[in-house]
Structure 1
Amino acid sequence: MLPLKQSADTLKDKRRLKWACRRGMLELDVLFEPFVDEAYDELTEQQKDDFRQLLTCDDPDLFAWFMGHEKCPDERLTKMIEFMLSRVKV
């Protein structure tokens, strides 16, 4: 979980973004941190906004969405989740 609840706007600074990727669950850390290092700079501005919005969500929700236990209620965030998962599948 983020130390302080941050808005997507405060995460435009890449250093803050990388810090926000450090989650309370290892399963999320291994998804978010490499994604920022390897793919974030290549995203469209809309995708970057969606990713930053995703980082403002609570860890239990993120875990459930990424593991497929629940469906994310936001279509744009669902697309970002699917995109991120497609990059880590072998």
Structure 2
Amino acid sequence: MTTIRIRNTEDAVSGIAALATKVIAAGGHEGHDLETVGTRMTSDEVLDAIRRSFSANIRRGLNTREAFTATGQSLIAHYCNAANIPTREV
């Protein structure tokens, strides 16, 4: 198990981007290797979206861990939907 220290929003943003990248790349879908997904996840647009989502989750009353998890799940689902990657087995 990995421990992630979140001292501020930027720690959360980088941690969410890194973990989401690993999870998506681990799916082994063509065109979505670690380097390609990492490049997409570290674009200013995506990092800003992560920041907004995490902050919104905190404002809604989620604790840091809950906000981190909710933001990461949402990010992975959005990425997979946009890339036509199935998010569950059929």
TM bin, normalised by shorter chain, reads: 0.3 to 0.5
Larger Rg: 2
State TM-score, norm by structure 1.
Answer: 0.35
